[in-house]
Chain A
Amino acid sequence: MNGTVLIQSLIGGLGIGSIYALVAIGYSLVYRTMGLANFAHGNILMVGAYIGTVFYVSMHTNFIIAIIISSILIGILGMVMERILRPLGKMDLIYMMLGTLGIGIVLQNLAIIIWGTDGIAVQYPIKNEPWVIGNISISPYTLVIICASATVVLALQFFLHKTKLGLAMRSSAQEKEMSLVLGMNVNLMNALTLGLGSVLAAIAGVMVGPVFYVSPDMSSSVGIIGFAAAILGGFGSIPGAIIGGLTFGVLQTMVATQVSEWSQVIAFVIFVFVLIIKPSGIVGERVVDKI
């Protein structure tokens, strides 16, 4: 692999990796707060991508407006999900996980009924003629994805660490009963977390539309890699999700430049290898020495 190809696939990998990172953060947020692996997350992403696409492609709204509308609707969907899952969680966590699986299947089939299985091609929202610097050619949209994702992550960190509601969400994730007694509505915090995680998926789904087709397959293609990225980084950790997502993106792109049809397989082989060496994931260290 020469230097030009390396740099080019690195940038391309960071672009798609940013998308995986957003998806992975959604998984981790929900896991941290509710102890729940949300198996509907990929399906939510796909529905979010379709909603955005319907507005952008069919109704010709501005791309950013399409992202915002999709985020709002998907955020509400995430909060409604908490209400559906709550009674299951009272029985057992495993029922709640199965609940997410069920919701995912329903969303998947609804999407196929409404939009079919063919997939929709989405136009780039900006002129995407590659920038050529020396031998390296860069797609401007890749840079847009990287910058937009970074902005979203920074806004999320600001919300979680600098606002009262963010503090309450982090508290409720750690000590549920104590948080109740301190006046925090823990059910609402769970709903907000699921809503927020879903918004991240919607943003990722709409943004990635012009790169891939928007199709029901996104649930598995983007959703599963996001899940794997969250595990790779250390399930439940936000920095871990970012590192895991970017790693997956870069790996996949680099492998693809060499042996295209094997890119997924090789990325997953490396994934398994990392987890054998470090089962808690890359960042999955105990942050606290003793509890």
Chain B
Amino acid sequence: MLDIRDLDIYYGKVHAVKGVNLSVEEGELVSILGANGAGKTSILKAICGITKAAGGQIYLNSKDILNMKPHKLVKQGLGYVPEGRKIYPLLTVKENLMAGAYHRKDRAGIAADLERIYEYFPILKTKSKVLGGNLSGGQQQMLAIGRALMTKPKFLILDEPSMGLAPSVVGQIFQIIGQLRKEGMTILLVEQNAFHALTISDRAYVLETGRIALEGSEQELKNNNQVREIYLGM
């Protein structure tokens, strides 16, 4: 489904992503783990077309999307939950969700998806008329996920959805991500919360200063000494 080859990203002279190869098969949940500044967000932004890559290829469904305009990608089935949520603070919860459906024309489908998201996150229905900026951090994260789902994605990428949330809310968020995967969604998840991420992942990559240092199945990585020490604190 997603195939990244030899991706290079520079910010001025800083070589943030160095020849990364990464793939996600249809129906898989793949995680990228890594410390602050490893280049995780940069890779996701390159997939979305909002950061320019210096070299490499990114294929989504065998289509080279590297030089595609960012606003055309949603039609390719790409859903994005960005780092820091980036909800619209001055739009209501419902308007935030409807912004996700901007590219769609199937009214009935949109209404059905809205109801489905309200079922996943009942609090969003209660707060549907509240401004996005007045939600709590956890509620904003749910809204960001809901908005991405409103685009009706085939491939969902999430950037640190657990960041800054209380443990109980983190559990709830991961449970939803696991459920989406069970329903057949293909997912690429960036996380620092390695334990939670690995538990719901099929495979994972470990990124260190812009390079893939390790990759493997959930079990392989959980049993890897280095991963246990650095990322799982065991």
Contact B86 A178 (CB under 8 A): yes
B11 on interface, CB distance cutoff 8 Å = no
Cα A174 to Cα B85 with chains together (Å): 13
Contact A185 B71 (CB under 8 A): yes
A133 on interface, CB distance cutoff 8 Å = no
A129 on interface, CB distance cutoff 8 Å = no
Residues 44 to 94 of chain B near chain A (Cβ within 8 Å): 48-50, 70-75, 78, 80, 82, 86-91
Q: B7-33 vs A: 1/0 string, CB under 8 Å?
A: 000000000000000000000000000
Residues 143 to 190 of chain A near chain B (Cβ within 8 Å): 164, 167-168, 170-171, 174-175, 177-186
Query: Could you list 23 examples of A-B contacts with CB < 8 Å?
Result: A164-B98, A164-B102, A167-B102, A170-B88, A174-B89, A174-B91, A175-B86, A177-B50, A177-B82, A180-B48, A180-B50, A181-B71, A182-B100, A182-B147, A183-B71, A183-B73, A184-B71, A186-B71, A287-B133, A288-B131, A289-B133, A290-B134, A291-B89
Cα A38 to Cα B78 with chains together (Å): 36
Q: Which residues of B contact A (CB under 8 A)?
A: 48-50, 70-75, 78, 80, 82, 86-91, 95, 98-100, 102-103, 131, 133-134, 147, 151
Contact B133 A288 (CB under 8 A): yes
Contact B98 A167 (CB under 8 A): yes
Known: A167-B95, A174-B88. A181 touches B70 (CB 8 A): yes
Contact B82 A170 (CB under 8 A): no
Contact B103 A182 (CB under 8 A): yes
Closest Cβ of chain B: how far from A43's Cβ, in Å?
30
What residue in chain A is nearest B96 (Cβ atoms)?
A171
B133: chain A residues within 8 A (beta carbon): 287-291
Cα A291 to Cα B87 with chains together (Å): 10
Q: A178-B88, A183-B72, A183-B73 are in contact. List 18 more A-B contacts (CB 8 A).
A: A167-B95, A170-B88, A171-B88, A171-B99, A174-B88, A174-B90, A177-B70, A180-B48, A181-B50, A181-B78, A181-B82, A182-B103, A182-B151, A183-B74, A186-B71, A287-B90, A287-B131, A288-B90
Cα A175 to Cα B89 with chains together (Å): 9
Closest Cβ of chain B: how far from A204's Cβ, in Å?
26
A179: chain B residues within 8 A (beta carbon): 99
A182: chain B residues within 8 A (beta carbon): 71, 74, 99-100, 102-103, 147, 151
Q: Chain A CB within 10 Å — which of B82, B87, B90 has the most?
A: B90
Cα A180 to Cα B50 with chains together (Å): 8
Cα A168 to Cα B147 with chains together (Å): 14
What residue in chain B is nearest A289 (Cβ atoms)?
B134
What residue in chain B is nearest A174 (Cβ atoms)?
B88
Known: A167-B98, A171-B88. A178 touches B82 (CB 8 A): yes
What residue in chain A is nearest B104 (Cβ atoms)?
A183
Contact partner, B103, options A170, A183, A186, Cβ 8 Å: A183
Cα A180 to Cα B47 with chains together (Å): 13
Contact partner, A177, options B86, B100, B103, Cβ 8 Å: B86
Contact A168 B71 (CB under 8 A): no
Cα A164 to Cα B102 with chains together (Å): 7
Contact B102 A168 (CB under 8 A): yes
A164: chain B residues within 8 A (beta carbon): 98, 102
Contact A288 B91 (CB under 8 A): no
Known: A170-B91, A175-B86, A290-B134. A180 touches B99 (CB 8 A): no
A177: chain B residues within 8 A (beta carbon): 50, 70, 82, 86
Closest Cβ of chain A: how far from B161's Cβ, in Å?
15
Cα A179 to Cα B49 with chains together (Å): 12
What residue in chain B is nearest A173 (Cβ atoms)?
B90
Closest Cβ of chain B: how far from A70's Cβ, in Å?
31
